[in-house]
Amino acid sequence: MKYLQPDWPAPKNIMAYTTLRSGFAGRYAQAENETDRRDGSSQLQTWLQLPQPPVWLKQTHGTVVVAAAPENLDREADASFAFEPGQVCAILTADCLPILICNKQGTRVAAVHAGWRGLAAGIVEATLAAIQQPAQDLLVWLGPAIGPGKFEVGEDVFHAFTRYHPGSTTAFAPCAPGKWLANLYDLARMRLSLSGVTNTYGGDFCTYSQPDLFYSYRRDKGNTGRMASLIWMNPRV
């Protein structure tokens, strides 16, 4: 198996995948050598039958959201959206949470890179604002991220969320003085729910605990590849 497909009730024209470590795209997409990057992106385009090359972003753990258009290739941003068929939204992760979004009509898609910094800063809210759709019309898939049994964080992370939303305390389990185990999936669900989005799916994996399937930045101490998560509207459907 080289990729996952979301288990969600998306329209038939919505295409969405997350690559696994048995593939190669994650390493090539982040390569510093431009030739390797181009070759890896081309291979991924063939492998998944992409209608256009992915619009890769320079991810910064911020809240910038851009259109998945060629002119935004390598822009500093952590989410992209598309309103036209064939435009491929793409992000890279290796413990951070990939979030894929579409509407029930199959006319809007978005991909979000959501580490704890981005979640706390409002990347979810910024993306929802960019795609301009009623919350009840949105479907969201939470892709593979570090699980709640392995994501140990300090007081800075705990307070970044609980100051904004006191109910976020339920996503943290104390494990040592000044330390918590954080549930990244629940934190994302809370942010989505606060924005009125309740049709959420996924959140079943742990990148740290499943080395046969996933890269993990924390497990591998930074010496690792990335999974690519992509979503687009099929122009042929």
- Number of structural domains, the chain? 1
Burial class (CB in 10 A: 0-12, 13-18, 19+), 177: exposed
The pLDDT value given to residue 33: 47
Inside any domain, residue 76:
yes
Residue range 69-84: mean pLDDT, rounded? 97
Chain position carrying tokens 């390493």: 27
pTM for this entry: 0.94
The pLDDT value given to residue 30: 52
The pLDDT value given to residue 45: 83
Residue range 56-85: mean pLDDT, rounded? 97
CB neighbours of 66 closer than 8 A, spacing ≥ 6? 57, 72, 75, 77, 79, 80, 81
Inside any domain, residue 125:
yes
pLDDT in tens, 86-133: 999 999 999 999 999 999 999 999 999 999 999 999 999 999 999 999
State the CATH number of the domain containing residue 60.
3.60.140.10
The pLDDT value given to residue 39: 57
pLDDT in tens, 23-55: 655 555 554 445 555 556 777 888 889 999 999
The pLDDT value given to residue 219: 96
Inside any domain, residue 158:
no
- With both helix axes pointing from N to C terminus, report the angle between 123-131 and 184-194 in degrees, rounded to the nearest 10: 40
Write out the residue range of the structural domain in which residue 112 sits: 3-146+197-233
Closest CA to 133 of 101, 165, 157, 168: 101
Tell me the torsion sign for CA atoms 207, 46, 88, 83: negative
Inside any domain, residue 169:
no
Vertex 97, ends 92 and 102: CA angle to 5°? Answer: 85
pLDDT in tens, 169-227: 999 999 999 999 999 999 999 999 999 999 999 999 999 999 999 999 999 998 888 99
The pLDDT value given to residue 31: 47
Inside any domain, residue 186:
no
The tokens for 87 are 């435009």
Chain centroid to CA 22: 19
The pLDDT value given to residue 38: 58
Inside any domain, residue 134:
yes
Inside any domain, residue 14:
yes
Inside any domain, residue 79:
yes
Closest CA to 113 of 219, 7, 217: 217
